[in-house]
C-alpha cells in the first residue's frame, strides 16, 4: 500500500451509453499503481523473493505495471491465512456470508468502468466486451451466489452441506475478472476460503478485485490473491493444506495437475480446452446464423474455450452461407481495443500470436483454402485478421486442435447422422451450436452431441444460473448454477 502513485488517469468517452449500473461515486478515473504486491491476509505484502515481472498492454506493447512473483513461501503464507480465516468464515451464518458477497457485487458495479478499462488495457479485449459482458457478468456471479449462501440447506435438502476448507483456484488469461468471479463467488457462498492465482499476462483486474475485497470489509484471509507464473500455480496445487483445486486452463496443464494430486485427498474440478462444432442446417435463418458464426468464433479474438471454432454447414446452403460470412467479415473492425467501435481487439500475448500464426501456416500446408478479411490492422501490437479455412477435413490438425484465436475451419455435411459423427469425433467436449428452424432437430442433436453446453439458434450466451463445463478432454465438474456450488461442498 506504500506506493499509491497513480500512473493513468483516463477520461472516458462512453459515459452516456454506459449500460450497467453507473454508480454515483464512480469518479471515471482509472487508478493504477506502478507496482503490485501479493494480497495475503487482507493486505498487500512484498513477495519473499522480492521479484517482480512486467505486465504489458498487448495492443501498444507498453508496460503497464510490475507484478509480484509469489514463490512457495508466499503460497504457504497465503494458505495459512486462508486456513485461519476458514475457522471463522465457515462458522458465520449463510446470511452473514451472503451480505459480504452482495457487497462485493455492489462495489464491482460501482467500479465497473475502471474494471472494464483495466481489463481491456491488460488483456487486449475490446472495451465493448469488457464493458457490456465481462464486468457485468462478473458482478452477476457474485449477486447470484450471494443469494444461495443462506439457502444451501434448501438447495441440497437432507444432505447437510458443509464447506470443504481452503480452495486453491487457478485461472487463465482470456476472461481474467470473469473467471475470478466464477471461482471466488461460489467458493465463498459455500463457506470456503480461497487462494487464487490469475494468469501471468492478466493479473491486474484480479489485483483490483483484491483492493475491492479489502474495501468491502471481507474478513482478512478469506480471499488471498497470489500472482506469478506456472510455478506459482504448481505451488498451490502441491500445497499439503489445500482441500480442493479448481483449475481453468489448457488440457495439458489440467492433466499435469490431475497427475500431481492423485493419491491425495484434494478434490478437483477442471475446466479445460474446447473445439466446438457450430452446425448450420439448410432450414436455419441464414442471416441470423451468420451473425452466430461471427459471434461464435470472433468474440474475444477467439480466445474462448467454448468458441464455435469448427463450422459445419449443410451442403445445399454452403455457398450462400460462406458468401454472406465473407461479406460480414469484411465489416469487422480489428484494432484499438479501447475504441468502442472495435470488434476484434488485440491477441493477448506475443506468444499466443505466434501460436495462432503457426496454426495458420499448418492449415495452408494441410491444403485447406485460406480466406482472410482485407481489413487494415495496426502495425504495432499483437493483431490477427479474422481467418477462415474452407474445405477443411476431419483429419486436419486445424480441425482437431484448439487454436484459441480468430480462426474458423469450415466443413460441409449432408445428413444429420454425418454431422453428429463429425462433431463428436474430437478429443474435446465442451460446447456446440445448432442452427435450424425445427425444434425436433434441436432436441435430437442436443441429446447426441457430446458437449457440456449446446446453444440452439444462438451462441456464447452466459448466465450465472446455468451450469458450464465439459466432457472428455474438456474436463469435469460444472461452474455456474446450483451445479457450480456442489464442487465446493461436502454433501
- Whether 356 and 298 have beta carbons less than 8 Å apart is answered as no
269 binds ligand NAP (CB under 6 A): no
174 binds ligand NAP (CB under 6 A): yes
Q: Which of 173, 299, 312, 413 binds ligand NAP (CB under 6 A)?
A: 173
Written as nine digits, the cell of 398 is 486445424
CB-wise, 202 or 248, nearer to Mg ion?
202
Burial of 195-229, coded b for 16+ CB within 10 Å and e otherwise, reads bbbbbbbbbbbbbbbbbbbbebebebbbbbbbbbe
- Whether 353 and 310 have beta carbons less than 8 Å apart is answered as no
* Three-state secondary-structure class, residue 280: strand
Binding partner at 234 among ligand NAP, Mg ion, none, C-beta below 5 to 8 Å by kind: ligand NAP
Q: Which of 92, 229, 332, 333 binds ligand NAP (CB under 6 A)?
A: 229
CB-wise, 110 or 122, nearer to Mg ion?
122
Closest CA to 260 of 283, 282, 233: 233
CB-wise, 161 or 308, nearer to ligand NAP?
308
Give catalytic status of residue 271 as yes or no.
Answer: yes
> At its nearest, how many Å lie between ligand NAP and the CB of residue 247?
7
- Whether 176 and 205 have beta carbons less than 8 Å apart is answered as yes
* Three-state secondary-structure class, residue 371: strand
Separation between Cα atoms, residue 144 and residue 122, nearest integer Å: 27
Binding partner at 122 among Mg ion, ligand NAP, none, C-beta below 5 to 8 Å by kind: Mg ion
Q: How far is CA 28 from the centre of its chain?
A: 25
Separation between Cα atoms, residue 81 and residue 77, nearest integer Å: 6
Binding partner at 343 among Mg ion, ligand NAP, none, C-beta below 5 to 8 Å by kind: none
Binding partner at 271 among ligand NAP, Mg ion, none, C-beta below 5 to 8 Å by kind: ligand NAP
Q: Which of 31, 49, 90, 250 binds ligand NAP (CB under 6 A)?
A: 250
Q: Which of 47, 165, 168, 233 binds ligand NAP (CB under 6 A)?
A: 233
DSSP category for residue 331: T
The residues that touch Mg ion, with contacts defined as CB under 5 A, are 55-56, 122, 201
With contacts defined by CB under 6 A, how many residues of the chain interact with ligand NAP?
Answer: 30
> At its nearest, how many Å lie between Mg ion and the CB of residue 297?
23
221 binds ligand NAP (CB under 6 A): no
CB-wise, 122 or 479, nearer to Mg ion?
122
Written as nine digits, the cell of 77 is 503464507
Give catalytic status of residue 305 as yes or no.
Answer: yes
Amino acid at each position: 500500500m506504500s506506493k499509491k502513485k497513480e500512473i493513468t488517469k483516463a477520461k472516458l468517452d462512453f459515459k452516456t451509453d454506459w449500460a450497467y449500473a453507473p454508480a454515483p461515486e464512480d469518479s471515471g478515473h482509472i487508478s493504477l499503481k506502478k507496482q503490485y504486491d501479493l494480497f495475503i491476509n487482507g493486505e498487500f505484502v512484498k513477495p519473499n523473493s522480492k521479484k517482480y515481472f512486467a505486465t504489458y498492454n498487448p495492443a501498444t506493447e507498453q508496460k503497464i505495471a510490475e507484478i509480484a512473483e509469489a514463490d512457495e513461501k508466499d503460497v504457504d503464507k497465503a494458505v495459512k491465512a486462508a486456513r485461519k480465516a476458514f475457522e471463522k468464515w465457515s462458522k458465520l451464518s449463510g446470511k452473514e456470508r451472503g451480505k459480504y458477497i452482495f457487497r462485493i457485487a455492489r462495489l464491482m458495479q460501482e467500479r465497473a468502468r475502471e474494471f472494464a478499462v483495466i481489463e481491456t488495457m491488460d488483456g487486449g479485449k475490446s472495451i465493448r466486451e469488457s464493458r457490456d459482458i465481462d464486468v457485468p457478468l462478473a458482478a452477476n456471479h457474485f449477486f447470484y451466489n450471494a443469494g444461495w449462501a443462506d439457502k444451501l440447506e434448501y438447495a441440497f435438502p437432507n444432505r447437510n452441506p458443509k464447506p470443504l476448507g481452503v480452495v486453491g483456484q487457478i485461472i487463465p488469461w482470456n476472461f481474467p475478472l470473469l473467471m475470478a468471479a466464477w471461482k471466488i463467488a461460489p467458493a465463498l457462498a459455500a463457506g470456503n476460503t480461497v487462494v487464487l492465482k490469475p494468469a501471468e499476462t492478466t493479473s491486474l483486474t484480479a489485483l483490483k478485485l483484491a483492493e475491492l475485497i479489502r474495501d468491502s470489509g471481507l474478513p482478512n484471509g478469506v480471499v488471498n490473491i497470489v500472482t506469478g507464473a506456472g510455478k506459482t500455480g504448481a505451488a498451490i496445487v502441491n500445497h499439503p493444506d489445500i482441500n480442493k483445486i479448481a483449475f481453468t486452463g489448457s488440457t495439458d496443464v489440467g492433466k499435469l495437475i490431475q497427475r500431481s494430486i492423485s493419491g491425495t485427498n484434494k478434490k478437483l474440478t477442471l475446466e479445460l480446452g474446447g473445439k466446438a462444432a457450430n452446425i448450420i442446417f439448410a432450414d436455419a435463418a441464414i442471416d441470423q446464423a451468420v451473425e452466430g458464426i461471427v459471434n461464435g468464433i470472433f468474440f474475444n479474438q477467439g480466445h474462448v474455450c467454448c468458441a464455435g471454432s469448427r463450422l459445419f454447414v449443410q451442403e445445399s446452403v454452403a455457398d450462400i452461407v460462406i458468401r454472406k460470412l465473407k461479406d460480414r467479415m469484411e465489416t469487422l473492425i480489428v484494432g484499438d481495443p479501447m475504441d468502442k467501435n472495435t470488434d476484434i481487439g488485440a491477441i493477448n500475448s506475443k506468444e499466443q500470436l505466434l501460436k495462432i500464426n503457426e496454426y495458420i501456416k499448418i492449415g495452408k500446408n494441410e491444403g485447406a483454402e485460406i480466406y482472410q478479411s482485407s481489413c487494415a490492422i495496426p502495425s504495432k501490437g499483437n493483431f490477427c485478421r479474422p481467418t477462415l479455412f474452407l474445405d477443411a477435413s476431419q483429419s486436419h490438425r486445424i480441425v482437431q486442435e484448439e487454436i484459441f484465436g480468430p480462426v474458423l475451419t469450415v466443413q460441409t455435411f449432408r445428413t444429420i447422422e454425418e454431422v453428429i459423427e463429425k462433431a463428436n469425433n474430437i478429443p474435446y467436449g465442451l460446447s456446440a451450436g445448432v442452427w435450424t428452424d425445427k425444434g425436433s432437430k434441436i432436441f435430437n442433436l442436443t441429446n447426441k452431441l457430446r458437449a457440456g453446453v449446446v446453444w440452439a439458434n444462438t451462441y456464447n450466451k452466459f448466465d450465472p444460473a446455468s451450469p458450464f463445463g465439459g466432457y472428455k478432454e474438456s474436463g469435469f465438474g460444472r461452474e455456474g448454477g446450483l451445479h457450480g456450488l456442489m464442487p465446493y461442498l461436502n454433501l
